């Protein structure tokens, strides 16, 4: 595994790989790696000759400075973790390396960045699009891998590739869950032992909502999910919406079931967790 901190060295290496007709897979992360990240890396290793991983806690996608400051940073442990999987290049840039000057790019993300996460975290997806565009232009991967836990983000990245004309195949990979159903997230390590015991209710309720949807309207189901989770005093639902999986627009009834997905954000004290569930199989 080659660890790189500057953009020129990364670009030179990528150029050499491609000149040798090797395919490049890319897994961008913010570190605090877990089995969800490793599943993306393993898939990239299967499908590509070379796998590049980045670790960068991107300041422009945090609309809450406290959230940025407390985001887990365990780079030494991450490097040890990556020694157990095939990682050809690990790119760990500084903020100055990625943002040497103010970037004034503008992205037309349509309505995708204005609902759910975009509504509750204004500016978040601009920051995501900005850093991903920078990384894509450096790595120039054939394929890039993202987890479906961040379902809205995957839609944003696909839109970004279209408007920027990136010839990159975006591979969305299934959510990896803990044994009790909790979606794996770097933020999980911030939970106290008591909080950790209670957050499994999120995924448990989402799973139960699939069966409940057979006898409830969309509106009734949304109310039920929010009520079930809020009944636990450790949890506070920020939003739960059932949307079209392409447009991310709220659906009104189950005639769109074959394209419906439920997306949720829940506060657990000062920690914010997201998850989703499909209503079609």
Alpha-carbon Rg for the chain in angstroms: 19
Q: What distance in Å separates the CA atoms of residue 222 and residue 237, rounded to the nearest whole number?
A: 11
- Decide: 260 and 246 in contact? Cβ < 8 Å: no
Buried/exposed code over 18-50 (b: 16+ C-beta within 10 A; e: otherwise): eeeeeebbbbbbbbbbbebbbbbbbbbbeebeb
**Of residues 34, 37, 120, 124, which has the active-site annotation?**
37
Cα distances from 172 to residues 17, 148, 149, 268, in angstroms, run 24, 6, 9, 27
**Cα gap 21→56, rounded to integer Å:** 28
Q: Is residue 37 flagged as an active site residue? A: yes
DSSP output for 116-166: THHHHSTTHHHHHHHHHHHHHHHH--SEEEEEGGGHHHHHHHHHHHHHHT-
Catalytic residues: 37
């Amino acid at each position: 595994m080659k660890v790189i901190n500057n953009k020129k060295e990364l670009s030179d290496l990528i150029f050499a790989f491609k000149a040798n007709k090797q395919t490049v897979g890319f897994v961008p992360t913010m570190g605090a790696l877990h089995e969800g990240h490793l599943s993306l890396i393993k898939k990239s290793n299967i499908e590509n000759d070379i796998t590049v991983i980045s670790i960068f806690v991107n300041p422009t996608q945090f609309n809450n400075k406290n959230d940025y400051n407390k985001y887990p940073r365990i780079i030494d442990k991450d490097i040890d973790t990556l020694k157990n999987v095939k990682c050809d290049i690990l790119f760990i840039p500084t903020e100055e390396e990625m943002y040497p000057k103010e970037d004034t790019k503008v992205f037309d993300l349509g309505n995708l960045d204005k609902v759910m996460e975009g509504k509750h975290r204004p500016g978040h997806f601009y920051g995501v699009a900005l850093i991903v565009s920078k990384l894509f232009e450096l790595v120039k991967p054939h394929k890039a891998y993202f987890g479906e836990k961040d379902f809205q983000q995957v839609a944003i990245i696909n839109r970004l590739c279209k408007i920027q004309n990136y010839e990159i195949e975006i591979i969305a990979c299934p959510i990896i869950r803990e044994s009790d159903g909790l979606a794996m997230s770097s933020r999980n390590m911030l939970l106290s032992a008591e909080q950790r015991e209670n957050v499994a209710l999120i995924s448990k309720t989402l799973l139960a909502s699939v069966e409940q949807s057979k006898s409830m309207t969309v509106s009734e189901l949304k109310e039920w999910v929010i009520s079930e989770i809020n009944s636990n005093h450790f949890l506070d639902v920020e939003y739960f919406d059932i949307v079209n999986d392409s447009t991310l627009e709220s659906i009104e009834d189950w005639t769109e079931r074959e394209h419906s997905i439920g997306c949720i954000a829940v506060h657990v004290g000062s920690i914010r967790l997201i998850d989703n569930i499909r209503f079609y199989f």
